Structure 1
Amino acid sequence: MTKHEQIIAYIETLSIGSKISVRKIAKVLRVSEGTAYRAIKDASRLGLVATIDRVGTVRIEKKSRDRIEQLTYDEIVQIVNGKVLGGKGGLSKTLSQFAIGAMELKDVLKYLSQHTLLIVGNRREVQYNALKKGSAVLITGGFSTSKEIIQYANKHELPLISCNYDSYMAANLINRSLYNKKIRTEVLVVEDIAKSIDETCVLLENMTLRDYKERATATGHSRFPVIDDNWRLTGLVTSKEIINMGENDSVKLHMSTPPIYAQLHTTIASCAYMMIWEGIELLPVVSPSKKLVGVITREDVLKAMHVIGQQPHVGETINDQIAKHITLKNDKIKLLVSPLLTNQFGMLSKSVIVAIIEETIRYEFHKFKKLEVMIESLNIVYIKSLPIESDIEVSYDMLDIGRSFAKVEVTMHSNNERVVSAMIMCQLLD
């Protein structure tokens, strides 16, 4: 185990809320402060630690993929630009719901429990009783509170936060952040589809052509990641590399370097782009310290993207909203310019035009039995502006199409006049 991995393992053993410093870790594990600093940065990316204002770097509970849509109280402080009055020890905890204290005390208490945030104004009785129920409290309007309430929050590590927004605006900001988190969970990453591996699926640097043939016969694979004795990825060997290998040549002399790889947080769309552009079928998956943890294949990626296309979206992105305005009638793509799609001058927004092209080009390529399309380059000429209530018709001219790439000319017409013309180069996933 490397020093970097030892530090990560040490951080994982610390209790939630423990303070972490570069100097302390360097002293305890007898490593340089530079090594400790880099490991703490990686631990932050892994969701093991977080830096909290006026508190420092602390160990936090790592969120699983099914809980990533939850917010921590420290994130709430950042969202509402708030001030922590008490309960700093609980800032790394997550909330599952929030409530607005615009009711009588007896009615407010019905909605409170642990992992709940109460948003309330200058009502100290409600604030105190909410803390006693195990809820955190966000005081709006810039108000403070009593020493007794602050002491209770500190003792029980229940965040007590103050902000200058009113209750409605604070709730709106928090709801919007939760919504964005929900959309983020719908984006598939490598961690969702990566296959774990064992000794039979890899080659060591000192192995020979004979070892390659034995493992290829046993597993049916023709592509193998190459690792060193510490399981760090150093290269990749396929049937292409072994052509020039002698029977006793080591894999290290002929492997492809530097290897192309993905990490657990890499999006599936990014992997698809790399695999098509580089013409590869196997992508190793590594940890932040470059240790091999799994692999994904082109087939895995394409299946995942197919699933993404069929799944209903819980959260709506901008493209989802624009797609609602697009209609397909008699094999024609049409759109009405509604106020939502315009800029401050009442004209169709340029960014919306790009989104329209992205959404409609997928429909066009379904005719060619292509699973997904990723735009490589897009050159647009805006000929005329489009005001509110304009009708648009989108047409495509397929200039060239191959197995993995296509060139397309897109034209938008309104009232029989050309208003937008664009040239597109795109990748095709099938």
Structure 2
Amino acid sequence: MEDILTPVQDIAYLDTSLKVADWHTLQEKTGHSRFPVVNKANRLVGMVTNKDIIEKNPAISIERVMTKNPLTVGSKMSVASVAHMMIWESIEVIPVVKDDLTLIGIVSRQDILKSMQMIQKQPQVGETIDDTIASQLSEKENEQQESMYEFKVTPQMTNSLGTLSYGVFTQLVCDVVQQKLFSMKKRNVAIENVTMYFLKPVQMDATLSIVPRVLEMGRKAGKLDVELYLEGILTGKAIVACQMMER
């Protein structure tokens, strides 16, 4: 966070001694509507937005209308973790604080998206996204003793909204099918068709469980059902048709 935050000396904020009228003044001056609130020691005690002050008397103290104990992040937290938090909680701005809640800056959702886009645009030297996906898959067994694969979503695998991209989902499904059939048949596989039924948003840093199940299997061709689970909830589903390659 320390690389992308707007430092406290460059942001607008309020303190507990101010009134609702001061929020209006600051809003007109900056064009913003969300402000951190600090006490005399510059420690964060709340956040105040336009929703908090609607129809409030301008003479009322900010301390009475602010949202207390807001969500905060530390300066060492990763962009991926903060992006997940902001999307999950529908937060536009989040304060960055020290361990003692001293305000050191803020991060907006726009800051997060710009940072993620920069990461995605960086050239990947030596290793392609396909290589990265394949190397991160780990095979295990689920409670039904079926083969399953675990996979962690990294920033490079997300779209502009911070969720798993459809392209990565498709490649992930293909890699799982290829690994599954190679372990069964000891033969390489050529993917003929991938039919995606649905994919719910999957945030960065999420760990997916992928379960491939054989629907049809012949000497030269096969069809598999692939399901993605996040914390036990079905998150994505696809059907894959493939051909066995001759040795």
- Is the 1:397–1:410 Cα contact (8 Å) retained in structure 2? no
Q: TM-score, normalised by structure 1?
A: 0.39
Q: Which residue of 2 aligns with 1:226?
A: 37
What is the CA–CA distance in structure 1 between the aligned matches of 2:10 and 2:119, rounded to whole Å? 32
Deviation at 1:219, TM superposition (A): 1.3
SS of alignment partner, residue 416 of structure 1? strand
What is the CA–CA distance in structure 2 between the aligned matches of 1:315 and 1:307, rounded to whole Å? 19
Q: Which residue of 2 aligns with 1:251?
A: 62
Q: Which residue of 1 aligns with 2:20?
A: 209
Q: Which residue of 2 aligns with 1:134?
A: none
Deviation at 1:399, TM superposition (A): 6.3
Deviation at 1:422, TM superposition (A): 3.0
Deviation at 1:315, TM superposition (A): 9.2
SS of alignment partner, residue 192 of structure 1? coil
Q: Does 1:273 align with 2:79?
A: no
SS of alignment partner, residue 307 of structure 1? helix
Q: Which residue of 1 aligns with 2:196?
A: 396
Q: Does 1:421 align with 2:211?
A: no
The answer to which structure, 1 or 2, has the higher relative contact order (CA under 8 A, 6+ apart) is 2
SS of alignment partner, residue 372 of structure 1? coil
Q: Does 1:373 align with 2:171?
A: no
Consecutive unaligned residues of structure 2, counting only runs of 5 or more, are: 141-146, 166-175, 202-209, 237-247
Name which one, 1 or 2, has greater alpha-carbon Rg: 1
C-alpha change, 1:341 and 1:268, in structure 2 (3 Å) is closer
Residue 131 of structure 2 aligns to which amino acid in structure 1?
Q
1:199-253 CA-to-partner distances (Å, cap 9, x unmatched) read: 8611001211111011111111110000000100000001111114211111111
Residue 321 of structure 1 aligns to which amino acid in structure 2?
D
1:240-275 CA-to-partner distances (Å, cap 9, x unmatched) read: 111142111111111112111111001111111111
- Is the 2:199–2:235 Cα contact (8 Å) retained in structure 1? no
Once the two structures are aligned, what percentage of the paired residues are identical? 31
Deviation at 1:392, TM superposition (A): 6.5
Residue 389 of structure 1 aligns to which amino acid in structure 2?
R
What is the CA–CA distance in structure 1 between the aligned matches of 2:107 and 2:138, rounded to whole Å? 42
SS of alignment partner, residue 398 of structure 1? strand
Q: Does 1:301 align with 2:120?
A: no
1:84-141 CA-to-partner distances (Å, cap 9, x unmatched) read: xxxxxxxxxxxxxxxxxxxxxxxxxxxxxxxxxxxxxxxxxxxxxxxxxxxxxxxxxx
- Is the 1:395–1:411 Cα contact (8 Å) retained in structure 2? no
Q: TM-score, normalised by structure 2?
A: 0.64
Q: Which residue of 2 aligns with 1:283?
A: 94
Consecutive unaligned residues of structure 1, counting only runs of 5 or more, are: 1-189, 326-339, 376-381, 402-408
Instruction: Provide the alpha-carbon RMSD of the alignment.
Output: 4.1
- Is the 1:275–1:298 Cα contact (8 Å) retained in structure 2? yes
Q: Which residue of 2 aligns with 1:67?
A: none
- Which has the larger strand fraction? 2
C-alpha change, 1:315 and 1:229, in structure 2 (3 Å) is farther
